[in-house]
Amino acid sequence: MSIEKVEINDESFQPVLSDPSDKEALSGKELVGWRNSWRRLKKNKGAFVSLFVLAFIVLLAIFGPHMNSYTYYQTDYSVSFQPPSSEHWLGTDKFGRDQWTRIWEGTRISLYIALLAAVLDLIIGVMFGAISGVFGGKVDLVLQRIIDILVGIPNLIVVILLILFMKPGIVTISVAMVITGWVNMARLVRSQIFKLKTQEYVMASQALGANVFRIIFKHFIPNSMSLILVNLMFTIPSAIFTEAFLSFIGLGLQEPLASLGVLINDGFHAMQSHYYLLIFPSIVIVALMVCFNLLADGLRDAVDPKMKD
């Protein structure tokens, strides 16, 4: 049996001509980063409906007080405790103040306090946790002891102490919630950074001479945004409830200012004879709490890379 030798040279190969405009086609749609998360969020019906309900409530909080000719502090004793009518859509309180205007003005103030507290929690908590996680060692030990001390102080005691030195109002409530509210955010960011510190791209950035703050803002924080966003969405309803609770027990906003807590407190004292004063603000705060929590749950599932279709 003989084996035939075959000579191979350049002429044995022929180049395959390709069209430069013909690019690789993917079998499916390219879904990257937040686009993929948005697609997952839309599949969560509860979270998606909650997003539209929250947008509707925010619009009413912005434009609702201007939809009639009344102000939230305007009194008219001739129409005290008037039930809902064409003139006063949600009725009036004991001072004859229009409840429609006061409810949406109160919703605006409650959302403002909650968002302010959430933003301050975001700034303080993220930076505190990032510094603690990046430097580690003695710096981390000292910062964690500070957190342990703040966790051991009840929020109600902080509020009472602040009221002794400050006038009850929006600033006092915001400061009280911020003093200890950022602790959970700091702990989550710190734990996330400890995981990211061992990643190759972080080591490569360090080897190239990047300073600490560049690594924090270019690598650690962007890669922790999903965790930060989800925690922020849980912080907002918690802040709304805290404001409502403090106003309900008389440690928050004072008359004639309106917030959901103030309105629920007024309705509580008159609920046996004028139920509408309690029902309408209660519906608004329950809707806010439920929708924010459903949206937070939906975001948590949407940004989790381990979730599969």
What pLDDT score does 136 carry? Answer: 85
User: Is residue 102 pLDDT above 50, yes or no?
Assistant: yes
Of the candidate CATH numbers 1.10.3720.10, 3.40.50.170, 3.30.565.10, 3.90.180.10, the domain formed by 36-64+90-302 belongs to: 1.10.3720.10
pLDDT average, residue stretch 93-106: 93
pLDDT at 236 over 60: yes
Model pLDDT, residue 55: 95
Least confident of 20-24, 66-70, 144-148: 20-24
Residue-level pLDDT at 90: 93
pLDDT at 27: 45
| Domain ranges, ordered by start, for the chain | 36-64+90-302
How much of the chain exceeds pLDDT 90, in percent? 30
User: For residue range 105-152, what is the model confidence (pLDDT) as tens digits?
Assistant: 999 999 988 888 888 888 999 999 999 998 888 999 999 999 988 888
207: confidence class by pLDDT, cuts 50, 70, 90: confident
Separation between Cα atoms, residue 213 and residue 210, nearest integer Å: 8
For residue 308, pLDDT beyond 50: no
Of 15-24, 117-126, 189-198, 216-225, the range with the lowest mean pLDDT is 15-24
